[in-house]
Amino acid sequence: MMITVNLRPGTKRSKSGPSFGGGLARVQGLGSAVKDPLRLVAIVAWVGVVGFLGWSYFQTAAQLGSLEPRIEDLRAQHQRYREFLVQKQKEELVRDSILAQIRTIQQVDGDRYVWPHILDEVTRALPPFTWLVDVGPAPAPQQAVATPDSVADSVPPPVEVQLTGRTVDIQGYTRLMRQLEDSPWLGNVTAVSANTVVEQGRAVTAFVLKATFTRPDRTEIRTVPVAESVVR
C-alpha cells in the first residue's frame, strides 16, 4: 500500500488521465503491428473492389428501374402493331375476294349490252330511204384453238358487225357509212359489196357493210337512273 503526502496544502491533486503522448504511442504500435506492407495494399485494394462492385450494382439497378416503363410501353406498341397487321391481312383477304367476284361478274355480264348498243347506234345512223334487211355478227376468220391458259389470260376480241341493207339513193349509202364512223361505239366501217338489184320493180342499191364495236372512253358514256329512264 502506497501513501501519498500533499506537501502543498491548499492545492488539489489533479486526476491522472490519458495523455497525447500515450495516444501517439498506440498509433505507432498499431503501425508496427502490420509488419507486411503487401498485405496492407491487398486489403485496401479488396475494400476498393468491393466498394466499386456495390456502386455498380446500385447504379445498374437504378438504370434498370428507369427502363422498365419504356420496356412496357414498347411491349404494348408491339402488341398493337401485331393486331393491326392481323386486321390488315384480314381486310386484304376480303378485298381480294370482292375483286375476284367483281371480275367474275364483269366477265359474265360484260357482253350483255353489246348488241343493244350496236342496234341503237345503227338506228341513229340510218338515213332516210335506207333500210336494213339483216344485222348480225360478221363471219370470223379461222383462228387457232386457244389453250386453257391463253383463254384465261387473253383479252376478249372485238365484236365484228355486218350490216346488209338497201337504199334508193346512193348518197344514203355513203351517208350511212359516215354516220356510223361518227359513232363512239362503232369504228373501222368498211364496204364489203355494193351493187344494183331490182326489188318490186324498182332498182335499188344493195350493200353490205362491216364495222367493229368498241367501248368508248368513260367520259363518252352517259348513265341515267333506271327509275328516271322508265318514267321518260
Q: What is the pLDDT along the chain (232 residues), one digit of tens a residue?
A: 556 655 565 555 555 545 545 555 554 554 555 556 777 778 878 888 888 888 888 888 887 777 788 888 888 888 888 898 999 999 999 999 999 988 887 776 666 778 888 899 999 999 998 999 999 888 866 554 444 444 444 455 778 999 999 999 888 888 999 999 998 888 899 999 999 888 888 889 999 999 999 876 656 556 556 555 444 4
Whether 126 and 187 share a structural domain: yes
Whether 54 and 118 share a structural domain: no
From 158, 159, 163, 157, select the one nearest 122 (Cα to Cα): 163
Whether 102 and 166 share a structural domain: no
SS3 135: strand
Domain count, the chain: 2
- Answer yes or no: is 25 within a domain: no
Burial class of residue 49 in the structure, from the number of CB atoms within 10 Å of its CB (0-12 exposed, 13-18 middle, 19+ buried): exposed
Whether 55 and 133 share a structural domain: no
**Alpha helix stretches (DSSP H) within the chain:** 20-33, 37-109, 114-125, 148-153, 170-181, 226-231
Whether 125 and 202 share a structural domain: yes
C-alpha to C-alpha distances, 106 to 68, 101, 158, 175, nearest whole angstrom: 57, 9, 16, 35
- Answer yes or no: is 28 within a domain: no
- Answer yes or no: is 63 within a domain: yes
Output Rg (C-alpha) for the chain, integer angstroms. Answer: 56
- Answer yes or no: is 21 within a domain: no
**What pTM, to 2 d.p., does this model score?**
0.47
- Answer yes or no: is 172 within a domain: yes
Whether 122 and 212 share a structural domain: yes
Question: In this structure, what C-alpha cell is assigned to residue 10?
Answer: 491548499
Whether 163 and 121 share a structural domain: yes
Domain span holding position 212:
114-140+158-217
Q: What is the pLDDT of residue 55?
A: 85
User: Which CATH number goes with the domain that contains 195?
Assistant: 3.30.1360.100
- Answer yes or no: is 27 within a domain: no
Count of Cβ atoms closer than 10 Å to residue 227 Cβ: 8
Whether 120 and 178 share a structural domain: yes
Q: What is the pLDDT of residue 9?
A: 58
Whether 120 and 210 share a structural domain: yes
